[in-house]
Chains A and B, each alone.
Chain A
Amino acid sequence: MSNKIINRFASAKTYIETCDKYFLFVFIPSAVLIITGWSWGIFIAPPDAVQGDAYRIIYLHVPTSIYAQLIYWIMAAWSAIYLIWRVKLAAYLTISAAYVGLLVTFLALFSGSIWGIPTWGTWWQWDARITSTLILFLMYLGLIALHDSFNNQNKADNLMSILTIVGCVNLPIIKKSVDWWSTLHQPASITLTDNPAIDPAMLYPLILCIVSFGFVLISMGVLVSKIIIFNREKNRNWVKNYG
């Protein structure tokens, strides 16, 4: 019974069919929400008392930083599924997500650097938060490079999954870096335990941006995974007959 369910969800063919069926339900909201969220944040939300308009890059920086870490957690879960149940789809999705993770981590670092120039007076400092995020970026890059360096795809999937799981150790460090060590980066504004340290007029568009980035990245991930899956399964009949 349980194997039947796993096999059904584990099929790359079913995955592609499902994605094709529902893609527009994710893609259209992603476009609408991101435009609404950014317009709200840039034109409607009030300026900050200390930073003026410079803080508005938060509407790019916070969503990208959140997903830079979240995507890695998801990849680690897929890697474990691949290693335990040998579900190939999980490996396809892991490597697809690595490309998306690489992009958002770059955006998080880049937007943070831009934000740092007018506020901190520097675009880069080797503080624990910034350095551990750079390590996350290099992890994504390393996973992609490792996966690309094998002719034997199963071996590539295996080693990538193992390395993904080992790389998890960096995630709590990124999260707690601003509490454990003295950094130039400020502590978190939004936490699960305390009231947000950010005014509701600025918080609501930020939440919208975070949600919309979820849709954007899922759309992006689906497109990347289609390329990866068609490439990996190109000799299978369902791919030859696709479309």
Chain B
Amino acid sequence: MLPHRKKRLQNILLLLGSSFVGIFLILTALNSQLDLFYSPSELNKNNLPQERIKLGGMVKKGSIKYEDTKVLFVLTDFEEDLDIEFDGIPPDLFKEDSGAVMLGSFDGNGVFVAEEVFAKHDENYMPPELSK
């Protein structure tokens, strides 16, 4: 390779390397702030956040109950559980033993009042016959 081309290649690698280092430092600093939601075990039960947050986890098996227009259920990450209350219609894919993400805030009694509920689905795809 000719010397001036080698120099340009070195410059490109330097540019690429420094960009990657820069973005790595930014991402390391932001770390968990880039998470879309908190999981139940990340919250301190004695000092629940006051502001609106997003929570995510699995809907505990057998925990969904309907009261009037409200949906009550337990969100778990298999370490901690949280009681959730949602006044509205959850998406079709919202069901027990399946992932969910919700936006809302805690009331005074440690119950998370969701304003919106989103269903998370996993990466597995299979025909209905095979899933039985």
If A49-B130, A166-B15 touch, whether A181 touches B121 (CB-CB below 8 Å) is: no
- Which residues of A line the B interface, CB within 8 A? 46-51, 55, 58, 80, 83-85, 118-122, 125-128, 162, 165-166, 168-169, 173, 180-184, 186-189, 197-199, 201-202
Chain A hits for B20, CB < 8 A: 169
If A85-B5, A166-B15 touch, whether A128 touches B127 (CB-CB below 8 Å) is: no
Please indicate which of the listed interface residues A51, A165, A182, A189 has the most CB atoms of chain B within 10 Å of its own CB: A182
B125 touches A (CB below 8 Å) = yes
Q: Say yes or no: A198 contacts B124, CB within 8 Å.
A: yes
Q: Say yes or no: B12 contacts A199, CB within 8 Å.
A: no
A157–B57 alpha-carbon span in the complex (Å): 48
B101 touches A (CB below 8 Å) = yes
Q: Say yes or no: A120 contacts B119, CB within 8 Å.
A: yes
- B interface SS class: mixed
Q: With both chains docked as a complex, state the minimum distance between the C-beta of B77 and any C-beta of chain A, in angstroms.
A: 10
Chain B hits for A48, CB < 8 A: 125-128
A13–B34 alpha-carbon span in the complex (Å): 48
Interface residues on B, range: 35 or more
Chain B hits for A180, CB < 8 A: 27, 34
Q: Say yes or no: A199 contacts B94, CB within 8 Å.
A: no
Please indicate which of the listed interface residues A83, A119, A121 has the most CB atoms of chain B within 10 Å of its own CB: A121
Q: Say yes or no: A162 contacts B93, CB within 8 Å.
A: no
Chain A hits for B23, CB < 8 A: 169, 173
Q: With both chains docked as a complex, state the minimum distance between the C-beta of B87 and any C-beta of chain A, in angstroms.
A: 15
A201–B122 alpha-carbon span in the complex (Å): 18
Q: List which B75-132 residues lie within 8 A (CB) of chain A.
A: 90-94, 101, 116-131
Chain B hits for A85, CB < 8 A: 5
- Complex partner residue of B123 from A166, A197, A199, A201, CB under 8 angstroms: A197
- Complex partner residue of A119 from B91, B116, B130, CB under 8 angstroms: B91
Chain A hits for B130, CB < 8 A: 49, 199
Interface CB pairs A-B, < 8 A, 22: A48-B125, A119-B91, A119-B93, A121-B93, A121-B119, A122-B118, A125-B101, A162-B15, A166-B19, A168-B19, A181-B35, A182-B35, A184-B118, A184-B120, A187-B123, A197-B122, A197-B124, A197-B125, A198-B125, A198-B126, A199-B125, A199-B127
Q: Say yes or no: B92 contacts A84, CB within 8 Å.
A: no
Chain A residue with the shortest CB-CB distance to B5 = A84
A48–B5 alpha-carbon span in the complex (Å): 53
Give 12 new A-B contacts, CB below 8 A, not counting A121-B90, A198-B123, A198-B125.
A48-B126, A49-B126, A84-B9, A162-B15, A165-B16, A168-B16, A173-B27, A182-B37, A182-B39, A189-B123, A199-B127, A202-B126
Q: Which 3 A-B pairs have the closest CB atoms?
A: A121-B91, A46-B127, A49-B131
Q: Say yes or no: A189 contacts B119, CB within 8 Å.
A: no
